[in-house]
Structure 1
Amino acid sequence: MTRQDITSPRPGRETNATEDVRPFKTQLLKWVGNKQRFAHEIISYFPTRFGTYHEPFLGSGAVLGVLAPNLAEAADSFAPLIGIWQALRADPESVKAWYRARWIESQDGDKVAQYEKIKARYNAGANAADFLFLTRAAYGGVVRFRRRDGYMSTPCGAHRPIHFDAFAKRVDEWARRIQGTRFFHREYAASLDRARDGDVVYCDPPYSHSQAILYGAQGFDLDDLFRAIEKAKLRGAFVALSLDGSKKSGATDCSYDFPASLFARQVPVNCGRSMLKRFQMEGRTLEDEVVTDRLLLTH
């Protein structure tokens, strides 16, 4: 596939480039729907040179980490998550200390009981430090919240969370990759409003057909997102949107009515098997549950 200079940033605004982007598979957060394995493929459809990179639905930062932009703004509406990213940029040693303390705590007694203790502490007062460990220890990286009160309900995973020494090395690598990025706690529309001529925006929202149990998904309106993307496009920004495309799951039809002329093209991205469906089906390996994203491109 050939990268193209689809947009033309104003002189002096070509701050990011994609020529040297390579696969980077070391994840910081364990996260369902993480796109790090094929983030370099998504990036291959970006312009080769562009202005500021924007990621309004940050999550685990998979595409951001692989791109490692020189100038970027990344945001999420979930405060404990953004607290992790802000601490990573400002003080990586604090992130290492958070994880180390909780890893040691998790080993002091029964594994499940200790996990539930940390989870209960988080549910009593949502915070970045406990949430960091829970993303690594929860089953399959499925961060699931109860709709009525935001209670995190995901059980303990069968795996042993990564050792704090190995995690510290990941922190160092990720801290280098995100130094050009500023992190914000805000809704996605505010981030899209900041995209200007020659900028690139990558949107990876919760998938309405498959992720209704995950954080932030319950009140998400796709039509509102389409309108925000259209405004950014009119200002000259290049927008790429990942959306569930074809998913073999009974009679589910993952189809949408797109605004006329909003997207110039779409390409399929194979995401592999659905960890979320495996979680919902009590851990069984589901050979037929293959997810294919559509990557929708405004130019």
Structure 2
Amino acid sequence: MARPFLKWAGGKAKLAPAILAAAPPGLSRYVEPFAGAAAVFFAFAEARPGLSSLLNDANHELIETFTVLRDQPGSLSSALALLSSAYYARDPVARRDFYYEARSNPGATPLERAARFIFLNKTCYNGLFRVNSSGGFNVPHGRYKNPRILDENLLLACSRALQHAELRSEDFAETCTSARPGDFVYLDPPYHPLTATANFTGYTRADFGRADQLRLRDAFESLTARGVAAMLSNSDHEYVRGLYGGLGYRVRTVTMSRAINSRGSARSPIPELLIDNFERVGLRSPEGSAGRP
């Protein structure tokens, strides 16, 4: 069964069934401008085989990895098998050195970079993806005894799911602009921080600040004006509620846990917002009426 093959902060595996159930039944294409580990996409691929999809993410290395997996699953598995064997053949100290050597070598080909991307994701600290101001991956080595670097069956399932997906790495607003009536757009942006110290800004070289949250709201409004069904997740913060309140959107609170965090106390369930425009584009919402923040 296709499911995320990467560890990913803020992944939506637990929320995916609810998003899938709420999606319009006759959609012609699934569009995700912030793909991440693509948990919701893989849920759609399993439930609606052959559905056309458009996946985008600002993280070029991530999209390159998806592309290689879609087009060269056998070669990618072979490259990962070599990395896995080399890693396991070493003692703990040598494994750490091997990790930092791989981290410092970006790879010369898309295949090499994709294998490196997955290897680092499986062996780095807490499965995080973080880059410095120069765009270099800078997460330290993890402490896993036997990380599963290669899951060939899962990779093959994900490769099959990606056969019907167009893959892009561009600004989210461009992806939204290309959406049309009949599509279903799910947006899972970098969340607005709940506190001044909770912001995670290392996913790409550029931060996702308040100006980007405003651009996101405008893109959501544009989708609505064009009759495109859309749903959006974000933190349950008064700033976010203020952006979408009073516009006729249904705003719900859902509880999500955080599987990836350096502190166990920060993994407890927290409320998040799930916002959709179904009533504004003429679709009946599952509960039959729009919520209000």
- Into which bin does the TM-score normalised by the smaller protein fall? 0.7 to 0.9
Q: What displacement does 1:85 show?
A: 0.8
Q: Contact 2:80–2:149 at 8 Å: present in 1 too?
A: no
Q: What displacement does 1:289 show?
A: 4.2
How far does the alpha carbon of each residue in 1:163-203 deviate from its partner, in whole angstroms, 9 at most, with x for none?
A: 52xx1111111122222211112111111001111211001
Residue 82 (structure 2) pairs with residue 82 (structure 1): no
Pick closer, same or farther for the CA change 1:88–1:287 going to 2, 3 Å. Answer: closer
Pick closer, same or farther for the CA change 1:25–1:158 going to 2, 3 Å. Answer: farther
For 1:218, the equivalent position in structure 2 comes to 207
For 1:189, the equivalent position in structure 2 comes to 173
Aligned equivalents of 1:42 and 1:180: distance in 2?
A: 20
Pick closer, same or farther for the CA change 1:98–1:37 going to 2, 3 Å. Answer: farther
Q: What displacement does 1:45 show?
A: 1.7
Tell me which of 233, 237, 249 is aligned to 2:228.
Answer: 237
Tell me which of 29, 43, 46 is aligned to 1:52.
Answer: 29
SS at match of 1:227: helix
Aligned length: 261
Aligned equivalents of 2:240 and 2:225: distance in 1?
A: 25
Q: What displacement does 1:117 show?
A: 1.2
How far does the alpha carbon of each residue in 1:236-267 deviate from its partner, in whole angstroms, 9 at most, with x for none?
A: 11111110126xxxxxx664421565452122
Aligned equivalents of 1:270 and 1:219: distance in 2?
A: 23
Q: Contact 1:52–1:72 at 8 Å: present in 2 too?
A: yes
For 1:140, the equivalent position in structure 2 comes to 126
SS at match of 2:270: strand
* Greater fraction of residues in helix: 2
Aligned equivalents of 1:141 and 1:181: distance in 2?
A: 25
Q: What displacement does 1:118 show?
A: 1.0
Aligned equivalents of 1:189 and 1:261: distance in 2?
A: 22
Q: What displacement does 1:82 show?
A: 0.5
Q: Contact 2:123–2:149 at 8 Å: present in 1 too?
A: no
SS at match of 2:174: helix
Aligned equivalents of 2:72 and 2:87: distance in 1?
A: 24
Aligned equivalents of 2:165 and 2:147: distance in 1?
A: 27
Aligned equivalents of 1:86 and 1:117: distance in 2?
A: 24
Amino acid at match of 1:57: F
How far does the alpha carbon of each residue in 1:20-43 deviate from its partner, in whole angstroms, 9 at most, with x for none?
A: xxxx68431111111113311122
Give me the identity figure in percent.
Answer: 25
Pick closer, same or farther for the CA change 1:207–1:227 going to 2, 3 Å. Answer: same
Q: Contact 1:199–1:236 at 8 Å: present in 2 too?
A: no
SS at match of 2:251: strand
TM-score with structure 1 length normalisation? 0.79
Aligned equivalents of 2:187 and 2:178: distance in 1?
A: 14
Tell me which of 62, 79, 85 is aligned to 2:39.
Answer: 62
Tell me which of 184, 198, 202 is aligned to 2:182.
Answer: 198
Amino acid at match of 2:273: R
How far does the alpha carbon of each residue in 1:21-76 deviate from its partner, in whole angstroms, 9 at most, with x for none?
A: xxx68431111111113311122221122121100111101100011051111111
Q: Contact 1:123–1:152 at 8 Å: present in 2 too?
A: no
5+ residue gaps, structure 2: 279-293
Worse overlay, 137-146 or 58-67? 137-146
TM-score with structure 2 length normalisation? 0.80
Residue 191 (structure 2) pairs with residue 207 (structure 1): yes
SS at match of 1:94: helix
Amino acid at match of 1:243: N
Tell me which of 242, 250, 253 is aligned to 1:265.
Answer: 250
Amino acid at match of 1:82: I
5+ residue gaps, structure 1: 1-23, 247-252
- Shift >4 Å, 4+ stretches: 123-126, 253-256, 259-263
Q: What displacement does 1:285 show?
A: 2.0
Pick closer, same or farther for the CA change 1:116–1:52 going to 2, 3 Å. Answer: same
Amino acid at match of 2:200: A
